[in-house]
Amino acid sequence: MGRESREEILERYDIRPVAEIDAEKMSIPPSPRFVTNSELSALIESDVTNVRITEVARRLYWRHLNDPFRGVYRAFRDAHKYEVDASGNSATFPEYLPSAEQTENIEQLVKLLELAASPKWLEIAELYRELGDMDAAKCAMDHFTGEQGRLHFVVEKLVSLKVRCPVKFNY
């Protein structure tokens, strides 16, 4: 369009000394770097003092460690798609036993969430459910206050059925 770019304007019209321009360029922070799923474990093991960062990293790692089960779940669902209970729902779920790494991460995440100023009891109940501790999941559900949405009832139903595997849910 014939307009000058920011760089061209600065090059042609910026009358500041070169040292001042260079100092300004040095003061600009670098672009943020995002942590990939494969780097989450190292981040968790590092000496991060910010509890919020550790909480977010553990939550993302929990989801990352559940990824392989999705393939198992899909294969099981396809193989048993005609097996339904009286209400028309899939009657079974594949066997699920979290690895030692998953269990340790979930337990640490539960501790972090329970120590928070306002614990997220629904998420804590979901974590206990996945660990297989249905009594602790029920107790966490009892702490839940506020409006009970669909997700609350789904977690409550899974706890009552003693289903501990990660379950696909369309919200």
pLDDT in tens, 23-70: 988 888 877 778 888 888 888 888 778 888 899 999 999 999 999 998
pTM: 0.73
> How far is CA 21 from its chain centroid?
42
- DSSP for the chain? --PPPHHHHHHHH--S-HHHHHHHHHHSPPPP-PPPGGGHHHHHHS----HHHHHHHHHHHHHHHHHHHHHHHHHHHHHTTT-B-TTSSB---------HHHHHHHHHHHHHHHTSSS--HHHHHHHHHHHT-HHHHHHHHHH--S---HHHHHHHHHHHTT--S------
Confidence (pLDDT) at 88: 62
pLDDT of the residue at 50: 85
- 14-27: average pLDDT: 88
Q: Which is more confident, 12 or 140?
A: 140
**Does pLDDT of 171 surpass 70?**
no
Q: Is residue 87 very low, low, confident or very high in pLDDT (cuts 50, 70, 90)? A: low
Residue 168 is predicted with a pLDDT of: 73
For residue range 133-164, list pLDDT tens digits in order.
999 999 999 988 777 788 888 899 899 989 88
If one compares 92 and 66, the residue with the highest pLDDT of the two is 66
Query: Does pLDDT of 91 surpass 80?
Result: no
